[in-house]
């Protein structure tokens, strides 16, 4: 049971270790990760030493094994389970695979070799050292304070960071950036006189094969070094970054690299000096290169002081316009980090055309595990189906590579949803988003329902409940379609936003409509949506390769779920589903609330199967979710009834 002063074990409760803890285990090899593996085995056996089971589990290194640096081969035959790997990281990942399989790990099965599809599987923490007056300690953090800092100082006990590293390694994550991409004055000093704090955090992550990265300010030579310029072509600036990188690696020899947000939302960048983003990224890449480090250069660059009256400017176009012309000009150790959609982690967006437009550049795809626009970890919204849809998208059509394949050169990144809350993610069911991200980063074509089954089996021990099948069925009913439910009662048909400005929680249909942020829906008395066609709109649709540029070009060929992202259409426009836009808005908003109410009832029915504290936390959050869902329904339906003058065909009450 998890109470207010304990830490939830998430998907690594002791019960999940029963299989390996009750068997004879041998571990061969030396090194820090093997030491971690031996400690894991000792912990498991300490818990289950009184209930021995026949069988033997062996972990062994084989330099000739064809597994790569993190892969492993799992052999199960005749009561013997063997994990073989060419490197120690593979042994540790193999251990967690055995845990994940549970009892099935000890039954005969064909030999399987597991290798991560992506070499970089990374979380970005948006943590501040100080509590920011607007964004708090963790920007877009919905799970309490930072795991790393408290009240402006490093946490004295980093045991929880070690526990966090264990959870991350168990789902396949191998890199963490520990501070906010919006680098404030205090956080900037992590690069220099506070680097010891990063080194202490790196020690905890290192035990589980996770490299630490640091967000840095492009203006660091000015802010920290006293230089008069941060021009990336200035020799003094280049020397400053080389010295800074040398200092970091002297403290953290296995440091991963830097993350940079530049020329974005007020952050400094190379544009101030008439230089390109390739110039800026290469400056830092060159400083990291002697140490084997990587710079992740974020492509989230757009005009955030847009004139809402000017319909020729389109925020969705910005990343492509800035970065597509630079393809091939970035260093080999520079990774362009691209948000999966062209706007900002909305409930529904098309896949960013930038991902398929840079064949000569390493690209990392960025997702958002923290639910900024998807309920802020107060609403149940399992994001694995969205992410799987993105990773399976083929920018060049059916014969081309998937987004998951294109990310092979740069990796998959997610904004973390973890914090100091006892449940890690505030909403206990939001743990699934963190778990699913790691597993999809390892295997981008994994099926969301498979991952949900894995998470349920690990998190909720089937041997400790009176009715495991009812529990599994109930959790599937609550989580499986929760993204679709959330989409139904919020912004419709891909139009996005419609949220309260600033904190982004709850409905405000016109909240950003007359703002400088470029997030418009253009609803008027005749229709709604943004014309992004080549023929009559902003031309954004033409940034895609065929067939998608053709698919998105007209309302007739555009998928319903993205219609209002690409087109301004009348309220009476008939969707492919056969209903009109206005009736779709009404219907889905009523349906979304009804589905959330049904999910709440299912959760209530599981009270006898779930630990009381966990059940109570989720039940409390369901009350908030339903209040918010009803507010969304009533705001959106009333807005469009008044705007269009078209009544609901179902005669339901709209205010």
Instruction: Report, as residue numbers or ranges, the catalytic residues.
Output: 265, 344, 372
- Residues counted in the chain: 655
Residue whose pair of structure tokens reads 């998208």 in the numeric block: 393
Query: Would you say the C-alpha torsion 81, 87, 91, 97 has a positive or negative sign?
Result: negative
Q: What beta strand segments (E) does 245-346 contain?
A: 257-260, 294-298, 334-339
What number of CA atoms fall less than 13 Å from residue 647's CA on the CB side? Answer: 5
Q: What are phi and psi of 23, to 5 degrees?
A: -120, 160
What number of CA atoms fall less than 13 Å from residue 456's CA on the CB side? Answer: 24
| 12-13-18 Cα angle (round to 5) | 100
Q: Is 60 helix (H, G, I), strand (E, B) or coil?
A: strand
Helices assigned H by DSSP within 58-151: 88-101
Q: Report DSSP state, residue 426.
A: S
Tokens standing for residue 165? 């590293």
Q: Which residues contact 95 (CB under 8 A, 6 or more apart)?
A: 20, 37, 40, 41, 59, 83
Q: Is residue 214 within a helix (H) or strand (E), and if so which, with residue range?
A: strand 211-215
Strand partners, 26: 58
> Is the Cβ–Cβ distance between 187 and 202 less than 8 Å?
no
Closest CA to 230 of 198, 265, 267, 181: 267
Region label for 498, one of left (φ > 0), alpha (ψ between -120 and 50) or beta (otherwise): left
Tokens standing for residue 491? 């912004």
Residue whose pair of structure tokens reads 């074509």 in the numeric block: 445
Give 449-452's long-range contacts (Cβ < 8 A, gap of 24+): 449/476, 449/480, 451/384, 452/382, 452/384, 452/476, 452/479, 452/480
Q: Is residue 611 within a helix (H) or strand (E), and if so which, with residue range?
A: none
Strand partners, 584: none
> Is the Cβ–Cβ distance between 558 and 576 less than 8 Å?
no
The answer to whether the bond into 469 is cis (omega within 30° of 0) is no
Q: How do beta strands 569-570 and 527-528 pair?
A: antiparallel
């Amino acid at each position: 049971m998890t109470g207010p002063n304990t830490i939830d074990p998430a998907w690594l409760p002791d019960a999940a270790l029963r299989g390996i803890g009750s068997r004879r285990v041998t571990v061969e090899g030396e090194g820090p990760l093997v030491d971690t593996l031996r400690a894991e085995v000792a912990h498991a056996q300490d818990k289950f030493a009184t209930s021995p089971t026949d069988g033997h589990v062996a972990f062994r290194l084989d330099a000739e094994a064809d597994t790569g640096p993190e892969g492993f081969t799992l052999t199960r035959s005749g009561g013997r389970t063997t994990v073989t790997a060419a490197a120690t990281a593979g042994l540790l990942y193999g251990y967690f695979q055995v845990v994940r399989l549970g009892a099935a790990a000890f039954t005969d099965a064909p030999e399987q070799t597991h290798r991560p599809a992506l070499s970089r599987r990374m979380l970005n923490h948006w943590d501040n050292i100080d509590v920011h007056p607007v964004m708090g300690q963790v920007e877009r953090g919905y799970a309490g304070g930072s795991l790393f800092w408290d009240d402006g100082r490093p946490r004295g006990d980093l045991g929880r960071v070690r526990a966090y590293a264990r959870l991350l390694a168990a789902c396949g994550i191998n890199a963490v950036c520990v501070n906010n991409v919006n680098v404030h004055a205090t956080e900037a000093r992590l690069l220099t006189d506070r680097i010891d704090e990063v080194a202490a955090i790196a020690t905890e992550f290192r035990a589980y094969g996770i490299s630490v990265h640091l967000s840095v300010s492009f203006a660091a030579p000015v802010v920290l070094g006293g230089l008069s310029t941060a021009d990336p072509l200035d020799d003094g600036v280049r020397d400053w970054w080389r010295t800074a990188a040398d200092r970091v690696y002297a403290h953290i020899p296995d440091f991963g690299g830097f993350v940079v947000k530049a020329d974005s939302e007020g952050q400094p960048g190379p544009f101030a000096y008439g230089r390109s983003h390739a110039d800026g990224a290469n400056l830092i890449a060159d400083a990291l290169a002697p140490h084997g480090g990587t710079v992740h250069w974020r492509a989230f660059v757009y005009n955030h002081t847009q004139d809402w009256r000017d319909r020729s400017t389109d925020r969705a176009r910005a990343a492509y316009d800035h970065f597509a012309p630079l393809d091939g000009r970035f260093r080999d150790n520079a990774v362009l980090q691209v948000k999966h959609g062209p706007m900002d982690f909305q409930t529904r967006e098309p896949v960013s055309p930038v991902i398929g437009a840079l064949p000569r550049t390493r690209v990392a795809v960025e997702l958002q595990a923290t639910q900024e626009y998807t309920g802020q970890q107060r609403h149940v919204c399992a994001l694995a189906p969205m992410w799987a849809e993105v990773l399976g998208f083929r920018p060049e059509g059916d014969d081309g590579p998937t987004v998951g394949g294109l990310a092979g050169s740069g990796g998959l990144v997610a904004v973390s949803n973890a914090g100091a809350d006892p449940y890690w993610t505030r909403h206990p069911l939001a743990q699934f988003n963190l778990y699913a991200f790691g597993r999809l980063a390892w295997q981008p074509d994994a099926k969301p329902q498979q991952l949900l089954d894995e998470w349920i089996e690990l998190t909720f021990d089937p041997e400790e409940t009176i009715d495991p099948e009812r529990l599994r069925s109930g959790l599937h009913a609550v989580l499986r379609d929760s993204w679709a439910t959330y989409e139904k009662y919020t912004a419709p048909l891909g139009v996005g936003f419609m949220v309260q400005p600033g904190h982004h929680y709850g409905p405000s249909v016109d909240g950003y409509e007359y703002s400088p942020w470029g997030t418009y829906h253009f609803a008027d008395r005749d229709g709604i949506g943004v014309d992004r066609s080549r023929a009559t709109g902003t031309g954004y649709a033409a940034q895609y390769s065929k067939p998608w540029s053709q698919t998105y070009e007209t309302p007739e060929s555009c998928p319903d779920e993205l219609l209002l992202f690409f087109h301004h259409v009348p309220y009476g426009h008939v969707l492919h589903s056969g209903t009109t836009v206005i009736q779709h808005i009404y219907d889905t908003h009523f349906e979304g609330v009804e589905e959330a109410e049904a999910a709440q009832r299912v959760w209530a029915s599981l009270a006898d199967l779930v630990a009381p504290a966990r059940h109570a936390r989720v039940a409390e959050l369901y009350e908030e979710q339903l209040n918010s869902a009803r507010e969304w329904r009533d705001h959106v339906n009333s807005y469009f009834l008044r705007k269009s003058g078209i009544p609901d065909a179902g005669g339901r009450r709209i205010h």
